[in-house]
Amino acid sequence: MQKIEAIKTLLEFSLLFSNQVKVEIVNNLNRFTEPEITSLGKLLAIEHENRSSLDEATIKSYIENFSKTYGKRQ
Amino acid sequence: MPTIEQQPSGLEKSKVTFKGFEEWTKANIDKAKAKFNEFKESLFSSERAGITERWKDISNNPEAKETLVALARLGINIGFTVADMIPGAGEVTETGLNALKMAGTIYAPLRDLDPTKSLSATETIAVQALTSPVELASLGTAPTYLINTIRQTWADYKAGNFSKAKEVVGYLITGNRDYYDKLKENSSKLDAAAGVLKK
């Protein structure tokens, strides 16, 4: 399985991104650099491996953290 | 399809670009690992939560709330259509609803109670007037309210209020069971994908 396909597979079940952002990610995957693909892939793999210990509070705080960091970059 | 609970809205309004994504991930990946491992007990499964919690989730999600309201409206309108076949009852109901609609033009909160809120008072009164001969001929058994039901349902459909009906009702009844079932079904595929991405 190629990295891009693997990202799409995990993204479908990911709780880290809203559906809208998931669509944006999938539509832009071809424009990602190799390191960006690797980073996103690692993030999704971590999420998958820790899925059983995820809870709503974790996800919310993680998303908030992402939003703050992401917002500063805009 | 992920359920409502799985659609955090933190990024909805952001323009999505990915410049600097790598830097962000590098800086946060350890934090993410720590956070993920911090919680030993899974509280996430909404199957554990009662219907009250799931109802609260839906109430906090405007899109899901509108879906439920539209479904309730459809149910009420079907009820009124059936009632319209009872001589006398239909006329009383329709006149009452028109009065409610008129009152809604003066006191706005009443509009939320209106089961044909997408139709104007003029339209519903015109429908009632135009279908009066049919009502008379059928001795009040013709379900002329069906016209209002169809028009309101079409307006809700066009507004996309039914697009998530299955998802919203499914979530209300079963929580995230569907998501977890799919997760289980796809576990080997997901494990393989995670294996590729960890390299």
Each residue's pLDDT tens digit, B15-67: 444 555 556 666 666 655 555 544 323 333 334 456 676 777 777 777 788 88
What per-residue confidence (pLDDT) applies to B60? 75
Residue B87 reports pLDDT greater than 70: yes
Do B25 and A43 contact (CB within 8 A), yes or no? yes
Question: Do the domain assignments include residue B169?
Answer: no
DSSP letter for each residue of chain A: --HHHHHHHHHHH-SSS-HHHHHHHHHHGGGS-HHHHHHHHHHHHHHHHTGGG--HHHHHHHHHHHHHHHHHH-
Nearest Cα residue to B164 out of B76, B55, B65, B46: B65
Q: Looking at the 3D structure of chain A, how many domains does it have?
A: 1
Nearest by CB to A18, from B11, B40, B41: name it.
B11
Nearest Cα residue to B77 out of B141, B144, B138, B139: B144
What per-residue confidence (pLDDT) applies to B12? 36
Dihedrals phi, psi of B59, to nearest 5 degrees? -65, -30
Do B5 and A24 contact (CB within 8 A), yes or no? no
With vertex at residue A31, the alpha carbon angle to CA B27 and CA A19, rounded to the nearest 5 degrees, is 75
What per-residue confidence (pLDDT) applies to B136? 81
Q: What value does the mean pLDDT take over residues A51-72? A: 55
CB atoms A17 and B6 under 8 Å: no
What per-residue confidence (pLDDT) applies to B108? 80
Question: Do the domain assignments include residue B16?
Answer: no
CB atoms A70 and B24 under 8 Å: yes
Residue B9 reports pLDDT greater than 50: no
Residue B83 reports pLDDT greater than 80: yes
Nearest-CA distance from A45 to chain B in Å? 5
Residues 17-56 of A with CB under 8 A from B: 17-21, 24-25, 28, 31-33, 35-36, 38-56
Q: What value does the mean pLDDT take over residues B146-157? A: 92
Taking CB atoms and an 8 Å cutoff, what residues of chain B touch A20? Answer: 11-12
Instruction: Identify the closest residue of chain B to A10 by CA–CA distance.
Output: B190
Nearest Cα residue to B76 out of B93, B61, B60, B100: B93
Specify the range with the lowest mean pLDDT, choosing from A42-46, B37-41, B96-100: B37-41
Question: Do the domain assignments include residue B30?
Answer: no
Domain span at residue B131 reads 66-158
* Tokens read off for A61: 């705080």
Residues ≥6 apart with Cβ < 8 Å to B158: none
* Number of residues written out for chain B: 199
What per-residue confidence (pLDDT) applies to B44? 38
State ipTM. Answer: 0.75
Residues A41-61: b if buried by 16+ CB within 10 A, e if exposed = bbbbbbbbbbbebbbbebbee
DSSP letter for each residue of B19-42: TTHHHHHHHHHHHHHHHHHH--S-
Domain span at residue A62 reads 3-73
Regarding predicted confidence, which is higher, B85 or A24? B85
Question: Do the domain assignments include residue B130?
Answer: yes
Question: How many helices, marked H, and strands, marked E, lie in chain B?
Answer: 10, 0
Question: Do the domain assignments include residue B168?
Answer: no
Q: Looking at the 3D structure of chain B, how many domains does it have?
A: 1
Instruction: Identify the closest residue of chain B to A51 by CA–CA distance.
Output: B36
Nearest-CA distance from A62 to chain B in Å? 7
Nearest Cα residue to B171 out of B43, B75, B57, B66: B57
CB atoms B10 and A63 under 8 Å: yes
Specify the range with the lowest mean pLDDT, choosing from A8-22, A50-64, B164-178: A50-64
Residue B193 reports pLDDT greater than 90: yes
Question: Do the domain assignments include residue B196?
Answer: no
